[in-house]
Amino acid sequence: MKILSVNAGSSSLKFQMYEMPEEKVLISGVFERIGIGNSFYTIKINGEKIRKEKDLNNHKEAVEYLVQELLENKIIESLDEIKGIGHRVVQGADKFDKSVIIDDEVIEIITELNPLAPLHNPAAVVGINAFKELIPNAIAVAVFDTSFHQTMEKEAYMYALPYEWYEDYKVRKYGAHGTSHKYVANRAQEILGKENCKLIVCHIGNGASITAVKDGKCIDTSMGFTPNAGLVMGTRCGDTDVSIIPYMMKQAGLTYQQIDDVINKQSGLLGISGVSSDSRDIEAGIKEGNERCILAQNMFVRRIVEYIAKYYVLLNGVDAICFTAGIGENGINVRKEILDRLGVLGIEIDEEKNDVRGVERLITKETSKVPCYIIPTDEEVMIARDTYKLIEG
């Protein structure tokens, strides 16, 4: 059965097609700069990566080129071969605790949740409608970033704000990166050979979050009402004193929109270093002796360590700590700095094993009290799995 995994952004469209249930990748790619000029797309097929410059005025045009590539590359002979299309949706709030087949009511609810994810949910609906129009016979499935976190207890997801804010405005912790956290937790269970285990999953990239997982269920997660909570990230500030916001509005004459732009797009590694939001640029600055890059890295690592320690206590010990996503999978120095600071927990890093990028591997010594792993994430295959399961019934 051929299944498409789709991730539609405001100006992008990522895709991956699988033969299921074998989970064989047939083709993958991404359309970029949709609707903003200088657009192009890249596809990867049979190990070869191809880039094409094309005018992409909207997502429908991107889908049209995608269909054209599928046919021309003989991935399919007919659109009817595509039985399912799984769509990543960032915000499902407390409305969805699992993936669902998309109908008009689901689209309506996703749209109602736009204020909670103004950049992501509208783009998801655009993608859903574009595929629905061009590949109408495929069953569409919504896979929510927030659904994995719906197992949190109320004491974990509530804020100490007026209870009416929760009742009337749905102000609570939702988390994000749930599809990634679920994939890594499932894979860790396979590696450890047991379902009943306690894990700390560190999804560390330009956007970053840490989740405490017990017996395959989320107990707590670092992101909150929005993705701008928890860790220091590429351009997001993470946890901060909220009273800074009205203070800066008054002192610097900043508007609400300017403040929102600063805390989401001008803070984090970029704001502290003044150099870049990219961890690789920060490390290059550290080698040059840039004190602000050194500070940014130390703040970044410290916050991660604080959350790992917090969740270690919450879970009353852990069976494994897992690193995933761009920095988690490739940041050799970042992983070393984190694990060195966790030595108090009896963690002993194996520097030779840690000297690797993007592969699944145990990176601690046999004598380490907590095994730590690199586990490359695969959100696309999780989307395909959920879509396949729902189609099969």
Enzyme catalytic residues: 145
Alpha-carbon distance of 338 to 356, in angstroms, equals 16
> What are 383's two structure tokens?
């989307």
Residue 198 CB: number of other CB atoms within 10 A?
Answer: 18
Q: What CA–CA distance (Å, rounded) separates 221 from 319?
A: 17
In angstroms, rounded to a whole number, what is the distance separating the alpha carbons of residues 126 and 143? 15
Pick the closest to residue 114 from 123, 105, 106 (CA basis): 123
Q: Are 109 and 93 in contact (CB under 8 A)?
A: no
Tell me the C-alpha distance between 267 and 235, whole Å. 5
Give the N- to C-terminal CA distance of the chain in Å, as an integer. 14
- Report the candidate in 181, 230, 206, 198 with the shortest Cα–Cα distance to residue 330: 206
Give yes or no for a cis peptide into 227 (omega within 30° of 0). no
β 24-32/40-45 pair status: antiparallel
Q: Which of these, 171, 175, 148, lies nearest to 159 by C-alpha position?
A: 171
Q: Is residue 213 within 8 Å of residue 198, measured between CB atoms?
A: yes
The answer to whether 21 and 386 are in contact (CB under 8 A) is: no
292/282 Cα distance (integer angstroms): 9
Pairing type for strands 13-19 and 2-8 reads: antiparallel
Reading across the β-sheet that carries 139-144, which strands appear in turn?
48-53, 40-45, 24-32, 13-19, 2-8, 82-89, 139-144, 100-101
Strand ranges of the sheet holding 320-324, from the earlier edge strand across to the other edge: 217-221, 208-214, 198-204, 320-324, 372-374, 361-362
